[in-house]
């Protein structure tokens, strides 16, 4: 594909990123209590004041990353928003874990920071760590960086040593499960905490990174023909709907996580696995050949998935697919990977962006019609869209610079 076409991709992505940033700067900030509103309607108006810690952490991370790494976003209002969001998180997100002497992060807070709900998972803590580490890189706050590292140690203990601090009861019928989201997130955190920090820090997390990779690779099932979302603790296929579940977007996201690591470690075998198994396979079984776009969930044996939204087209799997295929092409220069990117790009930019009000719709019907017209909610915030656009712009910058 010509440099002209790559330039066209970059220009559209750049404009979309600028529009997205402006939308959230304009509509999501809470000047009274700090933090961010994420339940934003089509026009950006707040329809619910609850604040979701996943999305607070993600927005702090995204603002901080943009400010730190892209000259045009090195703007005072972005820095101040990141710092205000970080202060809100540090003041309100952490709550004592019942009887364990440890801290958990809430899932949901009131507008003024009172905890509403706590999940018995690690994900609020994951995005707290991402936020604190990235913000510390911008502000130079060593206490904030230490806080992120200490929370990381607690997370590792919950996942690999003693999960009792999560508050989840041990039930007799509960089978130990390897859900792909857990090693994926830990690998994401390893990459965040080690970025640019030297050999000593990289060495500290080397064994954990290897463990994450092995846990993710256990999800290659059916003789290498399928990626399953959940497997047993020892890497075997689970019975029933849980075991047959496929999430193409998640597999694609895992693919580019693995691809990044393979580049850092110069591991050609891992690169091939990342592309062949975690990108090509999910694309082949996940792409809707009639209407276009990626299905949200599938059943590996062809049964109807029990998730009511299984055949909808959601924003974030398409974001992950764009990152995955463009990154894969940048590493291999295989034209079929750029073709995949182009196909996903055409579908995504035709269906998700709102040309009138800005930002993207998140939830489409199978046919590609807008099903839910809000721009933000309990799970959609300032993260997947801007992270995708940011990463794709940077990959295209690098590719076009090499063509000059």
For the chain, the straight-line distance linking the first and the last C-alpha, in angstroms and rounded, comes to: 15
Sign of the four-CA dihedral 382, 387, 392, 394:
positive
Q: For residue 402, what pLDDT is reported?
A: 86
State yes or no: pLDDT of 102 exceeds 90: no
Residue whose pair of structure tokens reads 């999305």 in the numeric block: 55
Q: Tens of pLDDT along 113-137?
A: 999 999 999 999 999 999 999 999 9
Give the span between the Cα atoms of 227 and 256, in whole angstroms.
Answer: 14
Tell whether the torsion through CA atoms of 32, 36, 38 and 42 is positive or negative: positive
Are 180 and 246 spatial neighbours (Cβ–Cβ below 8 Å)?
no
Task: For residue range 342-355, list pLDDT tens digits in order.
Answer: 999 999 999 999 99
Contact 152, 208 (CB under 8 A): no
- State the pLDDT confidence band at 2, using cuts at 50, 70 and 90: confident
For 250-296, the pLDDT digits (tens) are: 999 999 999 999 999 999 999 999 999 999 999 999 999 999 999 99
Which residue spans within 193-328 are E strands per DSSP?
220-221, 226-227, 230-232, 245-246, 298-299, 313-314
Q: Is the model's pLDDT at 107 over the cut of 90?
A: yes
Q: Is 168 a residue whose pLDDT tops 90? A: no
Question: CA-CA distance, 236 to 33, in Å (whole number)?
Answer: 48
The pLDDT of residue 403:
75
pLDDT one-digit tens code per residue, 377-387:
999 999 999 99
Cα separation, 144 vs 133, in Å, equals: 7
Over pLDDT 90: what percentage of the chain? 94
pLDDT above 90 (res 43): yes
CA distance linking residue 279 with residue 343, whole number of Å: 14
Whether 99 has a pLDDT exceeding 80, the answer reads no
Average pLDDT score over the chain? 96
- The yes-or-no verdict on residue 1 having pLDDT over 70 is no
Dist CA 224 CA 284 (whole Å) = 13
Q: Minimum mean pLDDT among 98-112, 302-316, 335-349: which range?
A: 98-112
Q: Quote the DSSP letter at residue 175.
A: P
Indicate whether 224 pLDDT > 90: yes
**Per-residue pLDDT at 364 exceeds 70:** yes
- Across the range 317-337, mean pLDDT stands at 98
Q: With pLDDT > 70 as the criterion, what percentage of the chain qualifies? A: 99
> Under 8 Å CB-to-CB from 356, ≥6 apart: which residues?
none
pLDDT at 100: 64
**Looking at residues 298-318, what average pLDDT do you find?**
98
Three-state secondary structure call for residue 221:
strand
If DSSP codes are grouped into helix, strand and coil, which group holds residue 339?
helix
Please, are residues 159 and 121 in contact by the beta-carbon 8 Å criterion? no
Q: What is the pLDDT, as a whole number, of residue 289?
A: 98
Query: Does the pLDDT at position 218 exceed 70?
Result: yes
Give the whole-angstrom CA distance, residue 133 versus residue 145.
5
């Amino acid at each position: 594909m010509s440099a002209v076409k790559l330039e066209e991709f970059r220009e559209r992505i750049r404009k979309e990123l600028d529009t997205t940033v402006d939308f959230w700067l304009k509509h999501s900030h809470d000047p009274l209590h700090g933090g961010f509103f994420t339940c934003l309607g089509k026009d950006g108006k707040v329809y619910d004041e609850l604040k979701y810690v996943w999305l607070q952490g993600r927005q702090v991370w995204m603002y901080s990353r943009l400010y730190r790494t892209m000259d045009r976003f090195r703007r005072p209002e972005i820095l101040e928003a990141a710092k205000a969001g970080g202060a809100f998180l540090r003041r309100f997100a952490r709550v004592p874990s019942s009887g364990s002497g440890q801290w958990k992060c809430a899932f949901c807070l009131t507008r003024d920071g009172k905890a509403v709900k706590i999940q018995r998972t690690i994900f609020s803590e994951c995005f707290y760590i991402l936020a604190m580490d990235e913000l510390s890189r911008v502000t130079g706050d060593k206490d904030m960086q230490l806080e992120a590292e200490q929370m990381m140690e607690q997370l590792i203990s919950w996942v690999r040593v003693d999960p009792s601090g999560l508050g989840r009861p041990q039930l007799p019928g509960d089978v130990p499960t390897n859900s792909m989201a857990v090693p994926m997130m830990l690998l994401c955190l390893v990459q965040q905490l080690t970025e640019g920090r030297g050999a000593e820090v990289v060495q500290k997390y080397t064994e954990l990174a290897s463990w994450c990779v092995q846990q993710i690779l256990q999800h290659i099932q059916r003789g290498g023909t399928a990626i399953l979302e959940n497997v047993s603790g020892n890497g075997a296929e689970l019975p029933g709907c849980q075991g047959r579940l496929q999430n193409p977007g998640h597999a694609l996201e895992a693919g580019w996580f693995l691809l990044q690591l393979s580049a850092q470690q110069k591991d050609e075998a891992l690169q091939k696995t990342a592309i062949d198994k975690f990108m090509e396979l999910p694309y082949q079984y996940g792409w809707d050949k009639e209407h276009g776009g990626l299905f949200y969930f599938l059943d590996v044996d062809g049964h109807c998935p029990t998730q009511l939204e299984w055949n909808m087209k959601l924003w974030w799997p398409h974001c992950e697919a764009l990152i995955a295929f463009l990154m894969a092409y940048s590493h291999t220069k295989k034209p079929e990977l750029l073709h995949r990117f182009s196909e996903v790009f055409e579908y995504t930019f035709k269906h998700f962006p709102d040309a009138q009000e800005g930002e993207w719709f998140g939830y489409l019907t199978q046919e590609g019609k807008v099903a839910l017209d809000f721009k933000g909610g309990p799970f959609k915030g300032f993260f997947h869209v801007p992270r995708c656009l940011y990463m794709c712009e940077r990959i295209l910058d690098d590719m076009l610079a090499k063509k000059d």
